[in-house]
Chain A
Amino acid sequence: MYLFNLDKLSGQQSMLFFHLLARMGIESLVLVSPKTPLASIGYFQNAEEEVDLEFCKKANIPLMRRELGGGATYLDENQIFHQVIIRRDNPMFSRKISENYKRFSLAVIQTYKKFGIETGFRPINDILTKKGRKIDGEGSGDIGDCFVWVGGILLDFNYEAMSRVLKVPEEKFRDKIYKSMKENLTTMKKELGEIPPREDIKSVLIEKFEKIFGKLKPAELTPRMIKLMENLEKEFTSPAFLFKKTPKILTGVKIREGIEIIYGMHKAKGGLIRAAQEVEKERINEISLSGDFTLYPKDRLEGLEKNLKGKIRKKSLLNSKIEEFYNKERVQTPGVNSEDFLKAMKVEK
């Protein structure tokens, strides 16, 4: 198995390279960072629904669809990608996909530990600190005859850029995503107060991955590989591939395992209601309501949000909280009742 200990490649190439190696059937560990920022979407995501394409264009952030699962991400030089490419006939590969995540994550967990950050694997695909903050997210897929597993060590993170890259049903929800990520996503800089030297982190990563895969053979990018990668880039950046329609519908954003932003929309008789909630184990941490329905007095919507915050997403409980709000605040919402709010919030039971 080869080791490509690369420095930085252009945003797209930092992702294209593992696709190339997998198609060529070259088993490797690649360590690389993107020189320039990049937005990446999972194979089944619709670019137009998941990413703010106008912002990306203005900010000169290219978009790439990867041949892996998972959601939209913002990638930049403050991440060290660890990309494992193994053939599916390699005994290290398991068709029990969760096993691969568990086994390969160990190298990343031990690397963080070496720098004083205690972490653990949280199925399906996250590495979390002891305080439950995400510090590495992973994705995988079959490409050619290989299984590919990728993730990234977070040295630092541009929360603002990430929240800008994502498309949101309404601008007021963007701030919720930003705050939720800031709270639930951590980095080496946040945990340690500083970023350890990049080369030190990579050395430890190599040492820990070698415990899993055995001694890795150092290899370098060849001119042929660069040429092939350029051809691949044409395929991956073609509008037909980038903007292909997929069956995935935008329903929210997973911040980390256990915490997600859920978007919902409901057309009531009195107008459209939109809802965005940060939900943790069925409890509403944060909620934003908006839409074009009428509410008298106008400034009371915040009171309803306050009434729902911290509550479990149970229909009977939330219904009573909405009724309580109506009675206490003496508000009127012509053509909109508590059931309509629950539909927008996607509360069914």
Chain B
Amino acid sequence: MAKVEDYNMPDELYYHKEHMWAKVEGDKVKVGLNDFSQKLAGEISYIEMPEEGDEVKQDDAVGSYETGKWLGKLYTPVSGEILSMNEDAEDDPTLVNEDPYGEGWIFEIKMSDSTELDNLMKGEKAIEWLKGEITKHVKEKK
């Protein structure tokens, strides 16, 4: 797993510009919030997930979460049909903080167009992007 400064970034995942990750297994895509975003946002108190069967389009806001009086949005990295949500994370949203790439996954989607993966980032490209985000949101603001 790559680590960019303090933030974990598994190599095998795709990353969306709104800090969501996507794990592709055939036409199924598991989605969650990346380590950088959960660390900066702080402890998540509530999470509202998309509903099973929802048809969603790439980049859509499909859910919300609250940390420290801030309401953040969850975006979908690809289009398709929502297959399932992580009910454990809905009951205990701190799972997203504790294990963002594992038990803290958020929803699973049946991808309708795999060419959309080209709009996401992976490997070196994702690392370079995250370095830029760290500079923008952490270093320059210190």
Residues of chain A at the chain B interface (Cβ within 8 Å) = 42-44, 67-70, 91, 94-99, 123-125, 138-142, 246-248
Contact = CB atoms under 8 A, between A and B. Distances in A.
Interface string B46-59: 11100000000000
Interface of B: 19, 36-37, 40-42, 45-48, 64, 66-73, 90-91, 133, 136-138, 140-141
17 contacts: A42-B69, A44-B71, A68-B69, A69-B66, A69-B67, A91-B136, A95-B19, A95-B41, A96-B138, A96-B141, A97-B40, A97-B67, A98-B68, A124-B68, A142-B72, A246-B46, A246-B48
Nearest to B75: A142
Contacts of B72: 141-142
Nearest to B140: A91
A140 B136 contact: no
A321 to B, nearest CB: 32
B71 A97 contact: no
Given A91-B136, A124-B68, A142-B73, A99 B48 contact: no
A140 B71 contact: yes
Given A43-B64, A69-B69, A125-B68, A248 B141 contact: no
B82 to A, nearest CB: 18
B69 A139 contact: yes
Contacts of B136: 91
Nearest to A137: B69
Question: Which 7 pairs from chain A and chain B are nearest by CB?
Answer: A141-B71, A44-B46, A124-B68, A69-B69, A95-B137, A125-B69, A96-B40
Nearest to B138: A96
Given A68-B70, A124-B68, A141-B71, 4 more contacts: A44-B46, A98-B68, A139-B69, A248-B46
A70 B19 contact: no
B133 A95 contact: yes
A123 B69 CA distance: 10
B37 A95 contact: yes
Contact of B71 (A69, A98, A123): A69
A248 B137 CA distance: 30
A6 to B, nearest CB: 24
Contacts of B71: 42-44, 67-69, 140-142
Contacts of A124: 68-69
**Residue with the greatest number of chain B CB neighbours at <10 A, chosen from A44, A70, A123, A125:** A44
Contacts of A141: 70-72
Contacts of A98: 42, 68
Q: Output the residue of B45, B46, B133 with the most chain A CB within 10 A.
A: B46
Contacts of B140: 91
Nearest to B46: A44
A103 to B, nearest CB: 8
B95 to A, nearest CB: 14
A121 to B, nearest CB: 13
A42 B37 CA distance: 22
- Of B40, B69, B136, the most chain A CB neighbours within 10 A belong to B69
A247 B141 contact: no
B42 A99 contact: no
A140 B138 CA distance: 19
Contacts of A123: 68
B41 A247 contact: no
Given A246-B48, A247-B47, A94 B137 contact: yes
A140 B66 contact: no
